[in-house]
Amino acid sequence: MMTGFRLNLSPLKEPLGFVKLVEWLTAIFAFGSCGGFSGKNIISLFCGDGRNETLSANFHYPFRLSQVPLVEGNTTICNHSVTTTHMMGDSASSAEFFVGIAIVCFLYSMVALLVYLGYMHVYKDSDFGPIFDFVITAILVFLWLVCSSAWAKGLQNVKDATDTDGISGTLALCKGSNITCEVTEFANMRSLNISVVFGYLNMFVWAGNAWFVYKETRWHSQKFSAQSGHGRQQVPAPI
């Protein structure tokens, strides 16, 4: 059996290779739209004496909000002494899990494309290649479901912690006083919303690809051969 590299672009014209290329692209969009995020909310504090003051909340991936300072050092705001105050919440685990799975899928898709385009003759001549590919693909379908769901919940926690209610609950001077706290400028979280969409889209794309990979395994060929043989046995012999 020849095992050398043979460049052949024809797999890209077939579902097996084309869908793998789509997976590679959607993985890039998934981790790029989440891992590259940085935003800032502006909080306006309306003091009881008619004065207004502002605070800024700068947050970014991986969204360890409990380490993001709203007030740094002891300071005076609206004639109230305020100590160092940080935002509440931590969505780092779900965000990093999501980005990690996206990067793994990005790398695996590249390796798989290299095999499809250069070593397809080896891939189809062995049982190990298609079965390994199918098992990994099935695992990644499940991981996409888990990480996308976890990140969707984590993103909602980020939104709750950075809106007016979340900020008002964090700043002590906003509670039980004549000071009104309101987020007047919100960070654009469109890319984070898109990352969740791409997470679930990846799950469906990988699930669809699992079928095409399964067709390359001996499990499918044996089942097809068994069904064909059974059909031929039912044909009556000519008289």
Q: What is the 3-state secondary structure (H, E, C) of 211-236?
A: HHHHCCCHHHHHHHHHHHHHHHHCCC
Confidence at residue 159, expressed as pLDDT on a 0 to 100 scale: 93
Question: Is residue 239 assigned to a domain?
Answer: no
Q: Tell me how far apart the alpha carbons of residues 87 and 65 are, in angstroms, rounded to a whole number.
A: 5
Neighbours of 151 (CB within 10 A): 27
Question: Is residue 232 assigned to a domain?
Answer: no
> Which domain range does residue 61 map to?
10-218
Question: Is residue 90 assigned to a domain?
Answer: yes
Question: Is residue 72 assigned to a domain?
Answer: yes
Question: Is residue 26 assigned to a domain?
Answer: yes
Question: Is residue 95 assigned to a domain?
Answer: yes
Confidence at residue 74, expressed as pLDDT on a 0 to 100 scale: 81
Confidence at residue 176, expressed as pLDDT on a 0 to 100 scale: 67
Would you give per-residue pLDDT tens digits along the chain (239 residues)?
A: 456 778 888 888 888 899 999 999 999 999 999 999 999 999 998 887 778 888 888 999 999 999 988 888 788 888 888 888 888 989 999 999 999 999 999 999 999 999 999 888 888 888 888 899 999 999 999 999 999 999 999 999 999 999 989 988 888 888 767 888 889 999 999 999 999 999 999 999 999 999 988 888 886 565 545 455 545 555 454 54
Total tally of structural domains belonging to the chain: 1
Q: Is the dihedral of CA 93, 96, 102, 105 positive or negative?
A: negative
Confidence at residue 239, expressed as pLDDT on a 0 to 100 scale: 46
Confidence at residue 2, expressed as pLDDT on a 0 to 100 scale: 53
Question: Is residue 226 assigned to a domain?
Answer: no
Question: Is residue 225 assigned to a domain?
Answer: no
